């Protein structure tokens, strides 16, 4: 029996029906057409489906959509301002932080959770935070470089 | 992978949760980090999930001579809790910081992990070494059970049908105590091939517990080699029983060494 899901996604209130077994990732992709949140392993290992739920990084393939009722969800579609990329997106472009790009939305959302807690993380801290995000194109070095560059950019932009 | 069709009920308070959990094939869901994976694989097919995640069973509080941790407290909250900085409780945060990954730590709860009873659960070793007790509520009342007695087999607990873990209670150790957790993890899953927690108390007692090597986490008393010699240790394609036994001894030594350093005021 479908139930009503009311959720704020990328700042906009949305309401639609989902089956209780619907996972948050499918509600976002199929219910709202927000296909920037990727389904990778579908077993909670790879982190491609990571979104922010009330500001915290979660794997949206391992959350029931109804558990997000009344919550605030941020997906990769919600972080740029108008046509201007978010500094972390810009950093991934400049530091070559992606190749195929499949894992990138999840990596970026996890990194935003990290940077909200620690605006100046060490490389070790970045790697520990990204343990749940798998990249299968290359290594992780340029991803770490991108997060570090984004951290610097965000610190400089922040009012001191 | 999508779970089989299931009902969903959100509990408004503890009594409501216990009432809903009294229904046939009802299962409590909190962070869902273990249950949803099992439901997606259709290993678990509850008729209804009872969402307890919004109940006020969260937080860490020192009350008298014990620390009460609400069942819905997440790994992330345990990892950074000022109330757990006491060297005697240091194993809790140390262990929590290494569980899963950031996303799992944001959702996964201590009560959910206990109820899931994974034989390689990291925190279970810590709970057993620190002699924690699980507080259980049901419609017929409440009881507390030593965590070591909660596990009766792989993914099997002594919870009665309709019973819910509401808190975990750690007794405070005397001044001059220290605890630690050490493990060697499977590099892909992150679960321990062998994990050990140690508590050294100010009055000279030592307690160890082991996880990842048998059908359930178990207490190893103060003589880990003797406990490992008599334990029924399993082997698989990743590590033989002999290797796991050896590894358990190694991580027990590491945990003990760090617990002793913390007990004597060393910074580790």
Mean pLDDT of A43-61: 96
For residue B33, which of B86, B72, B82 has the smallest C-alpha distance? B72
* Percentage above 70 pLDDT, chain A: 99
Q: Does B100 touch chain A (CB under 8 A)?
A: yes
Same domain, A63 and A103: no
A/B interface, count of CB pairs below 8 Å: 85
Q: Are strands B60-63 and B178-185 parallel, antiparallel or unpaired?
A: unpaired
What pLDDT is attached to residue A44?
Answer: 87
Mean pLDDT of B254-259: 98
**Beta-carbon separation of B36 and A58 below 8 A:** no
State whether CATH 2.60.40.10 applies to domain B1-55.
no
Same domain, A118 and A152: yes
Same domain, A120 and A148: yes
Same domain, A108 and A60: no
Query: Does the reported pTM lie above 0.80?
Result: yes
B268 pLDDT exceeds 80?
no
* Mutation for B interface: A20, A69, A74, most B CBs within 10 A: A20
Distance CA B192, CA B238 (A): 11
Write out pLDDT tens, residues B39-76. 999 999 999 999 999 999 999 999 999 999 999 999 99
Confidence of residue A43 (pLDDT cuts 50, 70, 90): confident
Distance CA A59, CA B101 (A): 10
**Beta-carbon separation of B32 and A64 below 8 A:** yes
CB A35 within 8 A of CB A29: yes
Give the Å distances, CA to CA, from B155 to A76, B37, B220: 36, 14, 20
Same domain, A73 and A7: yes
Confidence of residue A94 (pLDDT cuts 50, 70, 90): very high
A160 pLDDT exceeds 70?
no
Confidence of residue B266 (pLDDT cuts 50, 70, 90): low
Distance CA A58, CA B101 (A): 10
Q: Which residues of B touch A61 (CB under 8 A)?
A: 40
Would you put residue B51 in left (φ > 0), alpha (ψ -120 to 50) or beta?
beta
Residue ending a domain, choose from A45, A77, A109 = A77
Least Cα separation, residue A68 to chain B (angstroms): 11
Same domain, A152 and A91: yes
For residue B57, which of B15, B97, B90, B25 has the smallest C-alpha distance? B15
DSSP-derived secondary structure letter, A83: T
Same domain, A103 and A124: yes
Its CATH architecture, for the domain B178-263, is 2-Layer Sandwich (3.30)
Q: Which residue in B has a C-alpha nearest to residue A40's C-alpha?
A: B1
Mean of the per-residue pLDDT values of chain B? 96
If one counts every other C-beta atom within 10 angstroms of the C-beta of residue B142, the result is 12
Q: Which two tokens stand for residue B247?
A: 């590894």
Q: Does A57 touch chain B (CB under 8 A)?
A: yes
B246 sits in which H/E element:
helix B241-263
How far apart, in Å, do the first and last CA atoms of chain B sit? 43
Q: Which residues of B touch A133 (CB under 8 A)?
A: 101
For residue B180, which of B104, B97, B115, B113 has the smallest C-alpha distance? B97
Residue ending a domain, choose from A48, A77, A106 = A77
What pLDDT is attached to residue A158?
Answer: 84
Same domain, A46 and A28: yes
Same domain, A91 and A153: yes
CATH number, domain containing residue A125: 1.10.150.120
Q: Which residue in A has a C-alpha nearest to residue B105's C-alpha?
A: A58
DSSP-derived secondary structure letter, B194: E
Q: Which two tokens stand for residue B75?
A: 């790994």
Same domain, A7 and A33: yes
Based on the structure, what is the number of domains in chain A? 2
B158 pLDDT exceeds 90?
yes
**Beta-carbon separation of A62 and B101 below 8 A:** no
Assigned domain for A123 exists = yes
**Sign of the C-alpha dihedral, residues B32, B33, B34, B39?**
positive
Domain ranges in chain B are 1-55, 178-263
Domain containing A33: what range? Answer: 3-77
DSSP-derived secondary structure letter, A146: H
Q: Are strands A3-9 and A12-18 parallel, antiparallel or unpaired?
A: antiparallel
Q: Does A58 touch chain B (CB under 8 A)?
A: yes
What pLDDT is attached to residue B69?
Answer: 98
What pLDDT is attached to residue A126?
Answer: 98
ipTM computed for the complex: 0.97
Least Cα separation, residue A28 to chain B (angstroms): 15
Confidence of residue B181 (pLDDT cuts 50, 70, 90): very high
Assigned domain for A15 exists = yes
Assigned domain for A82 exists = no
Same domain, A11 and A49: yes
**Beta-carbon separation of B53 and A47 below 8 A:** no
The Cα angle at residue B147 between residues B100 and B228, in degrees rounded to 5: 80
What pLDDT is attached to residue B267?
Answer: 55
**Beta-carbon separation of B36 and A62 below 8 A:** yes
Write out pLDDT tens, residues B123-134. 999 999 999 999
Q: Which residue in B has a C-alpha nearest to residue A126's C-alpha?
A: B102
Residue position matching structure tokens 């290992």: A45
CATH number, domain containing residue A39: 3.10.20.30
Task: Write the residue in A21, A43, A131 that is nearest to B6 by C-beta.
Answer: A21
Mean pLDDT of B219-227: 95
Mean pLDDT of B81-91: 95
For residue B101, which of A141, A51, A47, A40 has the smallest C-alpha distance? A47
Write out pLDDT tens, residues A106-120. 999 999 999 999 999
Write out pLDDT tens, residues B90-104. 999 999 999 999 999
Same domain, A153 and A102: yes
DSSP-derived secondary structure letter, B30: S
Residue ending a domain, choose from A58, A77, A96 = A77
């Amino acid at each position: 029996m479908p139930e009503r899901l009311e959720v704020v996604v990328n700042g906009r209130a949305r309401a639609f029906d989902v089956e209780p077994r619907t996972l948050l990732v499918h509600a976002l992709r199929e219910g709202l057409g927000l296909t920037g949140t990727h389904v990778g392993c579908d077993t909670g290992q790879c982190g491609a489906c990571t979104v922010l739920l009330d500001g915290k990084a979660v794997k949206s393939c391992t959350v029931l959509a109804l558990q997000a009722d009344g919550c605030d969800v941020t997906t990769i579609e919600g972080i740029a301002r108008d046509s201007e990329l978010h500094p972390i997106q810009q950093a991934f472009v400049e530091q070559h932080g992606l190749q195929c790009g499949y894992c990138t939305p999840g990596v970026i959302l996890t990194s935003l959770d990290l940077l909200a807690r620690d605006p100046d993380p060490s490389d070790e801290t970045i790697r520990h935070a990204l343990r749940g995000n798998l990249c299968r194109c290359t290594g992780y070095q340029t991803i770490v470089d991108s997060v570090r560059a984004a951290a610097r950019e965000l610190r400089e932009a922040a009012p001191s | 992978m999508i779970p089989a069709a299931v009902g969903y009920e959100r509990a408004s308070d503890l009594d409501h949760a216990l009432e809903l959990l009294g229904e046939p094939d009802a299962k409590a869901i909190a962070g869902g980090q273990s249950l949803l994976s099992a439901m997606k694989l259709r290993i678990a097919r509850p008729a209804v999930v009872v969402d307890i995640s919004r109940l006020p069973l969260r937080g860490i509080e020192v009350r008298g001579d014990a620390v009460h941790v609400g069942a819905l407290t997440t790994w992330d909250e345990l990892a950074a809790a000022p109330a757990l900085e006491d060297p005697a409780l240091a194993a809790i945060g140390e262990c929590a910081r290494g569980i899963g990954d950031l996303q799992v730590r944001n959702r996964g709860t201590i009560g959910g992990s206990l109820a899931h009873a994974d034989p390689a659960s990291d925190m279970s070793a810590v709970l057993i070494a620190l002699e924690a007790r699980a507080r259980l509520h049901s419609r017929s009342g409440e009881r507390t059970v030593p965590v070591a007695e909660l596990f009766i087999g792989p993914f099997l607990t002594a919870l009665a049908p309709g019973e819910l873990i509401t808190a975990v209670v750690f007794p405070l150790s005397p001044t001059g105590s220290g605890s630690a957790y050490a493990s060697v993890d499977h590099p892909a899953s992150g679960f321990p091939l062998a994990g050990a927690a140690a508590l050294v108390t100010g009055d000279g007692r030592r307690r160890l517990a082991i996880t990842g090597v048998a059908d359930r986490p178990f207490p190893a008393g103060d003589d880990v080699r003797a406990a490992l010699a008599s334990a029924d240790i399993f082997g698989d394609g990743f590590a033989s029983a002999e290797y796991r036994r050896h590894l358990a001894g190694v991580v027990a030594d590491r945990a003990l060494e760090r617990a002793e350093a913390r007990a004597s005021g060393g910074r580790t």
